[in-house]
Structures are given as structure tokens and as C-alpha cells.
Amino acid sequence: MINRIRDIRKEKGMTLADLAEACDPPTTAQTIGRLETGMRNLSINWMDRIGGALGIDPEMLVRSDAATHPQVVAKLMENGPEALGKPRDAILATDLGGDLPLMVLSIEASVGEYRPGDQLWLRQIDPADFQRAINRDVLVPRKGGRFSFGRLIDRQGSMVGVLPPGAGQKQQVVDDPAWLAVAEMLVRKL
């Protein structure tokens, strides 16, 4: 197994000391450095502590030697793309985490601005935060294991109004959903 502590720490703009201080309980920068380089074994306990400090799931800290992983090889600047001196592992959307769960809506048919093959990554939010999702695309759970999807256009009390994508669609009203998932990223093959 290869650990990805250094790649994720750098992607988040943290120094060894920053990460050491963010651990609960705090540790030393030297210890984090030894864990990154493999000079010290990365136990489950250390994975939990470092994952918590980085705000990611602990299993994202390691990957198999055999697994291929996307590489960042260039950066786009004002004058065009520039090669990185040394490629580094890309941080996937699932690695960047957050406190609330991510989920994916697979698009199977052309609907509105979405095309077959698209993946829409959504972040689940709690009812207290529904108001900030107005005019954003959301996935809303309904009774019976069903969902509504579309632009959140209204919230009145415990009810939310969703306008499905595509021409001529009628507003759907869902009463008292437990959560909403707000669109964060669209993944589309070129």
C-alpha cells in the first residue's frame, strides 16, 4: 500500500506542522513526516487521526500499489499550460470530502442541460440549510424510495418546490424531505 498523506496535505495547503497541530490529540511535524515517508507504520488509529485532521475519510489516505491513479501533470496559467516538474496524484472529488455526504446522480438520457453519460456530484445538506439551495439543482428524497430532481425554486415551511429540467415540466412539491443534495460538480466526458 502507498499512503497519500503528503499529496492530500499539500493539496489542502497544509504544512507538516499544520497537520500535526490539527490532529486530535496533536502530534509533532516529525511524526507526520515519518508517517508520510513510510518510516513509521500507518496504523488504523493514525489513519483516523490524520483523516479527521484533513477532513477526509481515512481510507482515502492509502491506495494499492497496483491501482492506477490520475496524475496532475500540468497547470493552466495566463500564458497557457505549464508542465509540473514532477507529476503528483490528483485528488478526486470524493477525497476532498466535507462534513456532509457526497452522492452521484448518473444521467442516462438528455434532459435539459444534462447529457447521457454525465455524472452529477451532489452534496447532502440538512433542512436548516435548504434556503441557501434556492435556484440550484437538487436531488430530493420522496416517500417510497423515490426522488425528485431539478431546480429548487421555492420553500414554504416544510415544503419545497422543484422544477424538473427540460421544457414544459411542472413544479413538483415535496413535503418535509429529510435532506436535499445540492449539485456541486458535473463530470462530462469530452
Amino acid in position 58:
P
pLDDT score recorded for residue 27: 95
135 Cβ neighbours under 8 A, 6+ residues apart: 151, 152, 153
Domains of the chain: 2-93 (1.10.260.40), 102-187 (2.10.109.10)
Mean pLDDT calculated for residue range 98-120: 84
Tell me the pLDDT band of 34, cut-offs 50, 70 and 90.
very high
Mean pLDDT calculated for residue range 28-47: 90
Packing angle between helix 44-54 and helix 29-37, nearest 10 degrees? Answer: 110
Residue 1 has pLDDT above 60, yes or no: no
DSSP state of 114: B
Note the helical H segments in 12-146.
16-22, 29-37, 44-54, 93-96
From the CA atom positions of the chain, what is the Rg in Å? 21
Q: Which of 24, 183, 17 is nearest to 36 (CA)?
A: 17
Residue 159 has pLDDT above 80, yes or no: yes
Note the helical H segments in the chain.
5-11, 16-22, 29-37, 44-54, 93-96
pTM: 0.56
Cell numbers for 48? 483516523
The share of the chain scoring above pLDDT 70, in percent, equals: 89
pLDDT score recorded for residue 64: 55
**How many residues in the chain?**
190
Residue 134 has pLDDT above 80, yes or no: yes
Residue 155 has pLDDT above 80, yes or no: yes
DSSP state of 132: G
Q: pLDDT tens for residues 47-87? A: 999 999 998 888 888 865 555 666 777 777 777 777 778 77
